[in-house]
Structure 1
């Protein structure tokens, strides 16, 4: 059962669009995207990785006491972890402190009220069957599907939804989505087990799409009231005890073993959807997740048919993997660009609360110092797309992006100009010391750029550019980078924007002062920017039905984005392309541009659509 969403979203980038958009990055990008020229040598042994095996690789050994499952019915994924180890073993509660992966801690176990596939532009009612606003968008009535059960046999009801909302309010700001729920949701009234009414303080026309649809990385995670009502500290509750049957989930899979080296997740044949005839059991009988141990190892295992999918690969790697194993495909099958534009454009993020980047002049100096085109050419062999704004190039967002063109002439966020960087740093009170570094009050402008492994291609290049431009820069990826970004210990970092899909509000609201916390306290959106004028614009946008055809809404957007640009709240770097390898040796019906039922990131909230659609080859 599904219905069309009125927001037309097509976030994929086909080959023609890729070449057109890459034109923003120069001719080198065109040559790389078209396959012209040979790829540069890479470090490690990727280029000399062994040829594909015959397809008879055995599944990795699992914990004693578990049943045997044939490789042909086992899906093996490589994702997450730090230095080849899972560091959050036993944290099945996505809201727990230290949970690295949230709802993805046990892939395939979480289910939303509604799935939303942006690529298919389809809303798929799942745990719920319907949601209707009243005329002024101050109330939202939700109907829960009859027959949904938790894995311990308890029914999933409207009470679980209402309890989760209250839990978020009671634990603000420490739980994901808790701040927006506190500020927007006045009350949740349960009529009966299958019906509830969410009442808002003010009109909230986007709440259904933003928080009740599972898509990309957004959507509220529901918890079982009958267990969490006895939990005193949600953040300290791991929710992992196999003897008790924990975690308790609604999805068709649940964890049966978890060590630093692997996580084993087996199909639940008593899944509610199969019992009531709503959906068939997935053909996957076992999922084994192993931690990422570097790009080289990930690539070799994909080439050798030892894994079925993995975290997205870097631009310089994916083409080699595809070339060396004819069974490996990507979103664009076996042709460039080997992926699609994700919703996660990359920026330099800054800590506005303290340190050198509290000054907009220093932020602009960073932006003028880095040479983004050189970054593409050196780190990505030209195969990338620059961005001047923190929005993905998705069709519904393009009217807003195009309307910003005059502002971008005044505030060119992609300009490389060392003279302007010098002017900005001088205005901020800095001067160069004898070694060419910017100094103020006896301290150098430090730029210890925090990041994650996925930025290991561009991070070192950007750090070197900043160092040559006078910043005492380095690129670092400690295991606790995410924590340092959240609590303000980091002062400058690379990260994406899990925000806008159809409306610029979702990214722009990340900079609202409601998310400000003093350094040392975690926050969901961590720029720590504060501006009452900006807040007022975002609050006005929140109460309106978004539309680029509404002059009043467009005026609000332009006013807000001008402040974003003037203050350079963060410095846009590039669009993020998901180049996800998918191996067809054991599994077919992967999502591709020719089979576009959902995006291919199995760590997103739509992973259930992938697992339910994969077909065994044997």
Structure 2
């Protein structure tokens, strides 16, 4: 394995007879995701094996909305956007002078091509964009996207469409399975200089439009399969930027190099148990579609133990009936707490009683209840292998469920299969995380909007409610905050009432860093943006551009 250093010496062949010169490269070692082996898939739309560094680093967004700065737009491939008067269309002005990594110009037509590609291949439309827009038109450097209805928040999804170059993608026969092994990108790091299943090196775009602010030459990514292996890598002192659960972090990480090792854990995604309401198992399906069974399941969750024992106190307890979370408490509907809060608190006796009152009883004498019709209930709870904090949380969940007479087992597939199972619906119960946004709407929309079912693992409950869809649509059909708050109260009322998922805690944003080789890191004293390196947080581009190598 290549040793991680800030400056890798690269011999550059000189002209005939001239001595070779030595060029210093600033190589940053990062760990954005856990995997047993890397697959050379650089297609931003092929999520089955896509590398987590394709988005943002290889393909840059049009705009980044900086969540820690109240949604402030940070313009990237677009230099501005404007709405029409009634919020039914947005126009992006594409930045002048941007080139693809092969030197071809990046234009508004590439944006048009990409959106039309999603329209022609709905399986690529990961955020169901074409269910909410009616047209995309180009006029010079301007791209205008017309909506089906007024929407002041759809832009947050639009900028998650990563634009691909028309000149290299127009002849791709099947863009859903295309692995894009010779990528042409727009972001800061587009060149794959080394690739093996155990390590790859993603290096700077020779034609990057913002090269003046890029001081990192290459990102090196070692293969790491789980939290235990992360601890091994940490002891070597090779990781510059990563995000992982480390037990007793002051001892296991900071204590190894107190002068350089540090961390910052801002509040992050909601963690839930998804009971798949469309599971193929008939007995489980009957139970999961019974509100009282879901409520009993919820009351069997020892959330505080998950936070304190499994999470070493890093996560934040989430007992909101809707899963709203402490970060969005200013939006909280207190009426929902009063009416449904009992079902989001640990209470084994109440869970047993609710099951009994609802007709669940142990017919076979094995200690586990059956459905009122006598059909068997028994399921695996899937959690990625190596995610030790989540594995321990699931073990605590299994213990609680066992005590109330529900048969549940732990299952630990690899992260990729787990993701696909949640998305496709080929599972019974899974632990999952739901990303947050500028407002709580993003989280609820991602997890519960009907059009997202089957498109993303975030919607893994496979729940559908037209009334809720209408409210989610309506939230951004106005820019009036009072009206938005009224709608958000109604959204929480439905989610608290229906309990489509069982929220247990909120993850922190996992973020550790070393100042030994690079400076400029975001932290509590320098809270520029969300600091993490893993996918789904486009602010990581801003972080990369803030870093400077330490001069040896």
TM-score (norm 2): 0.87
**Conserved in 2, the CA contact under 8 Å of 1:464 and 1:474?**
no
Hey, what's the Cα distance between the residues in 1 that align with 2:326 and 2:191?
36
Does structure 1 retain, via aligned residues, the 8 Å contact 2:102–2:184?
no
Deviation, structure 1 residue 259 = 1.5
Secondary structure, aligned partner of 2:511: coil
The residue aligned with 2:484 is 553
- Residues 87-129 of structure 1 show CA distances to partners (whole Å, capped at 9, x for unaligned) of xx12100212523445x23772221111232224442211111
Q: Which residue of 2 aligns with 1:346?
A: 271
Q: Give 2:66's match in structure 1, choosing from 87, 98, 117.
A: 117
Deviation at 1:66, TM superposition (A): 10
Residue 435 of structure 1 and its aligned partner are, at CA, apart by: 2.9
Residue number among 206, 211, 215 corresponding to 2:158 in the alignment: 211
What is the CA–CA distance in structure 1 between the aligned matches of 2:209 and 2:369, rounded to whole Å?
62
CA distance in structure 1 between the aligned counterparts of 2:294 and 2:200, rounded to whole angstroms: 41
Give the direction of change, closer, same or farther, for the CA distance of 1:253–1:236 in structure 2 (3 Å limit): closer
Match of 2:245 among 304, 309, 313: 313
Q: Deviations over 1:496-521 (max 9, x none)?
A: 1124432435424631222345xxx9
Distance of 2:48 and 2:11 partners within structure 1: 29
Is 1:183–2:124 an aligned residue pair? no
Q: Map residues 119-138 of structure 1 onto 2, 5 A cutoff.
A: 119-121=68-70, 122-138=72-88
Cα distance in 2 for partners of 1:477, 1:209 equals 33
Distance change >3 Å, CA 530–CA 131, structure 1 → 2: same
8 Å CA contact retained: 2:31, 2:533: no
Counterparts in 2 of 1:423 and 1:544: CA distance versus 1, 3 Å: farther
Secondary structure of the 1:236 match is coil
Q: Contact 2:59–2:185 at 8 Å: present in 1 too?
A: no
Partner of 2:44: 94
1-structure distance, mates of 2:271, 2:411: 16
Question: Within 1, Cα distance between the matches of 2:24 and 2:103?
Answer: 30
Partner of 2:257: 325
Aligned length: 523
TM-superposed CA distance for 1:470, in Å, is 1.7
Question: 2:361 aligns to what?
Answer: 431
TM superposition shift of 1:70: 8.3
The alignment yields a C-alpha RMSD, in angstroms, of 2.9
Query: Aligned match of 1:238 in 179, 182, 201?
Result: 179
CA apart distance, 1:146: 0.5
Task: Give runs of ≥4 in structure 1 deviating > 3 Å.
Answer: 56-62, 64-72, 247-250, 314-319, 327-332, 381-384, 391-394, 426-429, 441-444, 521-524
> Corresponding residue for 1:405?
334
Change (3 A) 1:467 1:348: same
- Give the secondary structure class of the aligned counterpart of 1:149: coil
Q: Distance in 2 between the 1:350 and 1:546 partners? A: 35
State how far apart, in whole Å, the 1-side matches of 2:367 and 2:168 are. 60
**Is the 1:445–1:472 contact (alpha carbons within 8 Å) kept by the matching residues of 2?**
yes
**Shift in Å at residue 472 of structure 1?**
1.8
Q: Output the CA distance in 2 between the equivalents of 1:309 and 1:130.
A: 31
2:420 is aligned with 1:471: no
Equivalent pair of 2:7/2:25 in contact (CA under 8 Å)? no
* 2:193–2:203 CA contact under 8 A, matched in 1: yes
Which whole-Å CA distance do the structure 2 matches of 1:230 and 1:366 have between them?
50
Q: Which residue of 2 aligns with 1:369?
A: 300
CA distance in structure 2 between the partners assigned to 1:254 and 1:204 by the alignment:
37
| Correspondence list, 1:258-269, <5 A | 258-269=195-206
Contact 1:150 1:156 in 2 (8 A): yes
Shift of the alpha carbon at 1:75?
Answer: 0.6
8 Å CA contact retained: 1:69, 1:286: no
The alignment status of 1:595 with 2:526, answered yes or no, reads: yes
Match of 1:384 among 293, 304, 315: 315
| Paired residue secondary structure (1:161) | helix
Structure 2 residue 113 is the aligned partner of structure 1 residue 163:
yes
Sort the Cα spacing of 1:611 and 1:543 in 2 relative to 1 into closer, same or farther, 3 A.
Answer: same
Number of the residue aligned with 1:79: 32
Aligned residue number for residue 391 of structure 2: 456
Alignment partner of 1:254 is 2:191: yes
Q: CA offsets per residue over residues 240-282 of structure 1, 9 Å max, x none?
A: 13xxxx24344344222221101111223432333xxxx33x2
Which range moved further: 133-142 or 110-119? 110-119
Residues 1:123 and 1:553: Cα distance change in structure 2 (over 3 Å): closer
Partners of 1:444 and 1:316 in 2: CA distance: 41
Contact kept? 2:100, 2:184, Cα under 8 Å: no
> In the TM superposition, what whole-angstrom CA distance separates every residue of 1:123-156 from its partner, at most 9, and x where no partner exists?
2211111100011011211111100010111111
